[in-house]
């Protein structure tokens, strides 16, 4: 596969991004929300379950980084998830539901989504299962 080292690093960085973002908010949301003048979630369990899924997707990206020829379904789901996160955070930011700074992680996810699409296209051209 062309750019093997680049894509290995991309998915490793993607995994770390998900792990750090999820862990930061899992542990830090009681401090982060008030600092941004936002009320805490009414039902934190739903917020924490979303963060757990974010963390789990990080595991998936790590698996992809270890074997670029497999787990393309994880990449497809990741693209969908990252587009949903971007859309949700952008909408929440535009409607004043969240502090505008919280839209930035959605933008990062949008960039990852496009880079992951590039990976699937490269894999397909190289004859890999994409």
Report the pLDDT averaged over residues 104-130: 90
Alpha helices in the chain (DSSP H): 4-35, 44-66, 72-94, 104-125
pLDDT in tens, 54-94: 999 999 999 999 999 999 999 999 999 999 999 999 999 99
pLDDT surpasses 80 at 97: yes
Spatial distance between the Cα atoms of 28 and 10, rounded to a whole number of angstroms:
26
For 13-30, letters b (16+ CB in 10 Å) and e give ebbebbbebbeebeeebe
Question: Sign of the C-alpha dihedral, residues 85, 90, 93, 96?
Answer: negative
pTM above 0.95, yes or no: no
- Where exactly are the structural domains of the chain? 4-125
Return the pLDDT at 130.
Answer: 47
* Three-state secondary structure call for residue 117: helix
pLDDT of 102 strictly over 50: yes
pLDDT computed for residue 1 by the predictor: 73
pLDDT at 129 > cutoff 80: no
Q: What is the mean pLDDT of the chain?
A: 94
pLDDT at 2 > cutoff 80: no
* Predicted local distance difference test score (pLDDT) of residue 55: 97
Contact 61, 112 (CB under 8 A): no
pLDDT at 128: 57
Expressed in angstroms, the distance from the first to the final Cα of the chain is 12
Per-residue pLDDT tens over the stretch 10-42: 999 999 999 999 999 999 999 999 999 999 999
């Amino acid at each position: 596969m062309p750019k093997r080292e680049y894509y290995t690093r991309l998915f490793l960085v993607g995994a770390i991004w998900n792990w750090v973002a999820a862990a930061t908010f899992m542990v830090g949301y009681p401090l982060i929300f008030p600092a941004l003048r936002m009320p805490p979630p009414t039902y934190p369990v739903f917020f924490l379950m979303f963060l757990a899924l974010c963390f789990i997707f990080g595991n998936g990206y790590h698996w992809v980084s270890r074997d670029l020829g497999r787990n393309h379904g994880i990449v497809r789901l990741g693209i969908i998830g990252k587009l949903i996160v971007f859309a949700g955070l952008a909408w929440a930011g535009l409607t004043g539901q969240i502090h505008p700074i919280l839209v930035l992680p959605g933008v990062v996810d949008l960039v990852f989504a496009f880079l992951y699409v590039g990976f699937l296209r490269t894999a397909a051209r190289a004859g890999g299962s994409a």
